[in-house]
Amino acid sequence: MLLDALTLQLGYNATLVTLGATLLGITAGATGTFLFLRKRALLSDAISHATLTGIGLAFLAMTALGLDGRNLAGLLVGSALSAGAGLMAVHWMTTRTRLPEDAAIGAVLSVFFGAGIVLLTVIQTLDTGRQAGLESFLLGATAGMLRAEAWLIAAGGAAALALTVLLRRPMTLVAFDPGYAQARGVNLRAVDLATMGLALAVTLIGLKVVGLILIVALLIIPPAAARFWTDRSGAMAALAGAMGGAAGYVGTAVSASAPALPTGPIVVLAAAALFVLSLLAAPRRGLLAGALRHVAHRRDVHLRQGLLALAQGLPVYESYTQRLLVRAGLARPDGVPTDAGRAAAARALRDEARWALARTGQGNEAAASLYDGLRPISSVLTEDEIAALDARLAPRGV
């Protein structure tokens, strides 16, 4: 069953939902990258929670007009208006009062979400609202998704992704250096509004798939995972989009193969699995890579200290250091250095003397600042500079 879901063999509607969720994940990951870099991840949470009030008001308005209150397009319009009002409230409080942005976001988030819960409770008491299924917007529900709704989600995701690609340069510039961007003539307010507008669009598109509570995870987790792998913003956005798409694809497929499992939480768990993998296995920032670098650095420090001890005829007391010297063929088990060990010890002692002279002399300040006790001096000084140091060391017998 899972294999059929992963290979899109569960029927037209299931395939459409899976592809729509995949496109949503790609869009959310790419768009969320700029929120993440701008350090406004919490803003997406306020946007998503503010949509609940709009959903309730849109349902009441459509039913009052004799329309279908569950029409997705109408609910999305109401959500957009409500979330836009929430964004304007956050902006007003941060610019016109002394409230910091996180406090303003928290206030808007709680007030709009509380109002939305009250509206949902009221709607459930109405004859037209008992079977509305509006609670599915909290955590998402794709089981009853109509074909037109899936097409709407896919089209909205494609449009938001296209706008993200189009605006990536000014959003990157503002995220890294707002002052420089402003000096270059970039309108910071317009770019920030565009970024928040894209986050709003992704939130609205993802309401049916992952729900308003969990959409923030799809906006933030893929960029956070991608950050472990790269330092380049373009590569980070592409990788975040790929991770978000993979989470949407796998999560929707797993949910389709086991209908009792909710789609939104499974998609978020798939994204979380990618984050944990990145946290552990990324080659530069991952925990495993950091642990390996620590072990290698510790080994190099012990070998260096052991060689300096051998060069000065001192006993090596540290058992770990002695094991390293023996394993490297630099000393015998009884602590006596081998021929290779004596040569390596002499080189280490000479290098240490060169570093000591370079650090106390004039003209080598830049090179001396790189001293860490392990780096060969030949990696930072030219042969002529090293020869000059050796000439000064020769009278000392080094």
> Concatenated DSSP letters for 134-182?
TTHHHH---TT--HHHHHHHHHHHHHHHHHHHHTHHHHHHHHH-HHHHH
3-state helix/strand/coil string of 183-206: HCCCCHHHHHHHHHHHHHHHHHHH
Assess contact for 84 and 54: CB atoms under 8 A: no
Residues paired with residue 337 on neighbouring β-strands, in sequence order: 331
Q: How far apart are CA 143 and CA 133, in angstroms?
A: 12
Residue type (1 letter), 197: G
* 214 burial level (CB within 10 Å; 0-12, 13-18, 19+): buried
Residue ranges, CATH 1.10.3470.10, the chain: 2-217+234-265
Question: Collapsing DSSP states into helix, strand and coil, what is residue 373?
Answer: coil
Query: pTM of this prediction?
Result: 0.79
* 87 burial level (CB within 10 Å; 0-12, 13-18, 19+): buried
In CATH, what number does 2-217+234-265 get? 1.10.3470.10
Q: Output the CA torsion 299→301→302→306 (10° steps).
A: 140
Q: What is the pLDDT along the chain (398 residues), one digit of tens a residue?
A: 666 656 666 676 777 778 888 888 999 999 999 989 888 877 777 888 888 888 888 888 888 887 877 787 888 888 889 988 888 888 888 888 888 888 888 888 888 888 888 888 888 877 665 555 676 676 666 666 667 777 777 788 888 889 988 988 999 888 888 888 888 888 888 888 888 888 888 888 887 777 777 788 889 999 999 999 998 988 999 999 999 999 988 988 888 777 677 778 888 899 999 999 999 999 888 999 999 999 999 998 899 888 888 888 888 778 888 888 888 898 888 888 888 988 988 888 888 888 888 887 666 677 777 777 788 888 888 888 888 888 877 765 55
